[in-house]
Structure 1
Amino acid sequence: MSSREHRLDGGTPTVLVTGATGFIGHQAVHRLLAHEGRPRLRLLVHDRDVPDCCAAATAVVRGSLTDPASLRGVCRGVGTVLHLASVITQDPATAHAVNTAGTEALLAEAHRSGVRRFVRLGTAAVYGPGPHRGEPAPSGRPLSVTSASRLAGDRSVLAAGGVVLRPYLVYGAGDVWLVPALVQMITRLPRWIEGGRARLSLISVDDLARVTAALVTRPAPLPVSAVLHAAHPRPVVVRDLVTALCRQLGLPLPRGDVSRADLEAHLGGPADADLVRRFAQFGTDHWFDSSELWSLAGLEPGPGFAEQFAACAPWYREHLRDPLPATASPAG
């Protein structure tokens, strides 16, 4: 992959997509298939079946990010790699194998095949506890095994001249992380953390897929070694977020306040440090400037959170069951 050139070939390009069977991936593939001048798609799949909505007009190749030999040839004839695959885990060996070494193996194959554009989906969770208030380039201070391994993979992509997209919190049909985590929080601690005043960057999975598809099919060059924050331009106040969730899902609103400093006592001490950290992130500003991404994609953002969440609330009401496992983190 050339770090000097990120131009798509003339004619219909071929885009290799990893993670196409995931929450964000299958929506991105759906958007690419519907895109004007639809690119040829090649899906790198490990051990899942390809959803029906992704099967049309695509080629499927089997391989594993943890097995570099299985990746040989997957990028042959490809102009763009859209790397959406990752793993959320507390096991350091697995996180490194997929998120760090797996990304490096895919980059090496892309370089061998002459791929000119490499876009990776990361996470703004790599920036750590905050507060973050729109600063252009926060320092990486990952607090979880998953985020540390993803940051290491990001650095390899940026060193090779690629682009890293970093959403913070993603919601919509198929979400098994964010809203289940919020339901768990409201049930476990029905209080406003720091008055519910914190502002957070959110993006619907539909908007994320839409802007990602537009970015990777953009005819003009992309910036080299760029981090692009992926969010709706308007941050969401936690009180508004939780109020909308409770209204749509029939949950009682929190009552009373608790400070971040007192979270451990309210959660029952000695509390699990990871649990306290996950609750605390909803009491601190985490919002990021996404204007460059929307400009490069040539798109206007969709409606705000309240309208988009109302549209996907029926899916949550149908599918939401048990709260998030204690080891998971909605921001990765």
Structure 2
Amino acid sequence: MLSLTSRPTSTTTTTRNGTDPVLVVGGTGFIGGAVLRELTRQHPSPDAASSLHVLSRTPPRVAAATGVRHVAGDLTDPSSLRGVCSGIETVIHAASYVGRDQQKCHDINYLGTQALLNEARRSGVRRFIYVSTASVYGMGPHRGAAEGELAPSPTSPASTSRLRAEEAVRAAGGIVLRPHLVYGIGDDWFIPTLARVLRQVPFWPADTTPQASVIAAEDLARVIVALARQSGPHWGGGTYHVADPRPLLMNSLHSGLRALLRLPVAQEVPIGDHRSLVRQFMPDLSDHQYALLTEDCWFDSSSIWQRTGLNPGPGFERRFAACSAWYAKQLTPALRAEPKACQSLLSLPATATAAA
């Protein structure tokens, strides 16, 4: 078992000097990449960065320039993980499959996490941090619940398998993090999906002012690295929501994104009509994913900021402004290439959209 399992949980921690070896699993992905950038930012010299290891199939771009060590491995092949945790103090597991293939979800998210935990045990790893998702709670609305107040009820193979991975991590004494919507450079789902909805269906549900828990990838990375660098006689595990403590008004995001991408102002329609149109023109968007963008889904995240002692950051407006040029560059060509599926509907009265 991980050595930390014998230690009681406490919020009393200290920060180590940051040179203990760390293994980042998924360092070539969106969140793992942000974690790796934060780690290398804190330790810019190649000698210091040599204590950072990245487990992935291919080397991360940052590895050659910074001295970060690449370790080849595949979560679906336990034999390839042999020795990857040798000499490692902390494992940061940020690799997940989020598609709809049930077998891949089971093999990568659940069995892969178990295999990684087994290797961590063999190597005497002291701390294990797993990046899960608030989607394990399933359909909302969710309004301000703290950890332990909601029973998980996942609705997808990805969330179901990640919940099972959580259970394995907690049993080993590790930390489970549950961010909700994450944005920033490298985001390929949250903001891009919302942009597609706004482009494909130039309407928005009337009388809805949803709020959501969001966090910039760089702030999530700061939390993860702070946890990796904490130590003390009572260092322990736990499950934490990770989000900006101020829920985001999604209508403000919609307006800002339309302005950024020069999309027309949306007409308001009944939410049932809007869901029907989105289902027609974006059949790949599940009911749960649609709800994430259109209804309240926010959580109390005060515990993680208390535990880490970090400032949550400047908030969504400033963080999004800093990466808006990247989003515009990524999204504008893609949106131009998509057919304007509902553009002709703009000329229809709102009462006619239900039959469209």
What is the TM-score normalised by the length of structure 1?
0.88
Please name the residue that 1:149 is paired with: 161
Q: Which runs of 5+ in 1 are unaligned?
A: 326-332
Q: Which amino acid aligns with 1:4?
A: S
Q: Who is 2:38 aligned against? A: 31
Deviations 1:49-100 (A, max 9, x none): 3113675132211111001111111111111110011112111111111100
Check the 8 A contact 1:9/1:79 in 2, yes or no: no
Which deviates more, 220-229 or 109-118? Answer: 220-229
Return 274-283 or 145-154, whichever deviates more: 274-283
**TM-superposition CA deviations, 1:207-244 (whole Å, max 9, x none):** 11122111211233676441111111100011111112
CA distance in 2, matches of 1:9, 1:69: 32
Q: Distance in 2 between matches of 1:222 and 1:93?
A: 38
Counterpart CA distance in 2 for 1:223 and 1:288 is 25
Cα gap change, 1:273 to 1:223, in 2 (>3 Å): farther
The answer to whether the aligner puts 1:227 opposite 2:234 as a matched pair is: no
Aligned counterparts of 1:233 and 1:94: Cα–Cα separation in 2 = 33
What is the letter of the counterpart of residue 313 of structure 1?
A: S
Q: Is the 8 A contact 1:81 1:115 kept in 2?
A: yes
TM-aligned CA deviation for residue 181 of structure 1: 0.4
Deviation of 1:198 (Å): 1.0
- The answer to whether structure 1 residue 67 and structure 2 residue 77 are counterparts is yes
Q: d(CA) in 1 for partners of 2:282 and 2:69?
A: 49
User: CA RMSD for the aligned pairs?
Assistant: 2.7
Q: Contact (CA 8 Å) 1:41, 1:59: kept in 2 or not?
A: yes
Q: Is 1:215 equivalent to 2:227 in the alignment?
A: yes
1:190 counterpart residue number: 202
The answer to whether 1:85 aligns with 2:95 is yes
Q: Is the 8 A contact 1:263 1:276 kept in 2?
A: no
Residues in 2 aligned to 1:252 and 1:221: alpha-carbon distance in whole angstroms: 57
Give SS of 2:130's match: strand
Q: 1:317-332 alignment to 2 at 5 Å? A: 317-320=328-331, 321-322=333-334
The residue that corresponds to 2:314 in the other structure is: 303
Percent of aligned positions with the same letter in both sequences?
40
Moved more, 27-36 or 187-196: 187-196
**What is the CA deviation profile of residues 163-191 of structure 1, one whole-angstrom value per residue up to 9, with x for unaligned ones?**
11111001111111111100111123323
Q: Does the C-alpha gap of structure 1 residues 62 and 53 become closer, same or farther in structure 2, counting only changes over 3 Å?
A: closer
Map 1:116-131 to 2 at 5 A: 116-131=126-141
Q: What is the identity, as a one-letter code, of the residue corresponding to 1:13?
A: D
CA contact (8 A) 1:173 1:316 kept: yes
What residue in structure 1 maps to residue 354 of structure 2? Answer: none
Moved more, 155-164 or 97-106: 155-164
1:244–1:306 CA contact under 8 A, matched in 2:
no
Q: Describe the SS at the equivalent of 2:145.
A: coil
Q: Which residue is 1:328 aligned to?
A: none
Amino acid at match of 1:255: Q
Distance across 2 between alignment mates of 1:98 and 1:298? 33
Aligned to 2:23: 16
One of 284, 294, 297 as aligned partner of 1:283? 294
Measure, in 1, the Cα distance between the counterparts of 2:235 and 2:68.
Answer: 28
Shift of 1:113: 1.1
**Does 2:15 align with 1:4?**
no
Q: How many residues align?
A: 323
- For residues 23 and 69 of structure 1, the distance between their equivalents in structure 2, rounded to whole angstroms, comes to 26
Note closer, same or farther for the CA distance 1:268–1:96 as it changes in structure 2 (3 Å cut): closer
Q: Deviations over 1:13-67 (max 9, x none)?
A: 1111100011111221111122279672111112x23113675132211111001
Closer, same or farther in 2 for the Cα pair 1:266/1:58, shift >3 Å?
A: closer
- For 2:217, the equivalent position in structure 1 comes to 205
Q: Using a 3 Å threshold, how does the CA distance of structure 1 residues 162 and 221 change in structure 2: closer, same or farther?
A: farther
Distance 1:186 1:113, change over 3 A: same
Query: 1:20 is matched by which residue type in structure 2?
Result: G
* Contact preservation (8 Å) 2:28, 2:60: yes
User: Residue 134 of structure 1 aligns to a residue in which SS?
Assistant: strand
Using the size of structure 2 for normalisation, the TM-score is 0.83
8 Å CA contact 1:199–1:285 kept in 2: the answer is yes
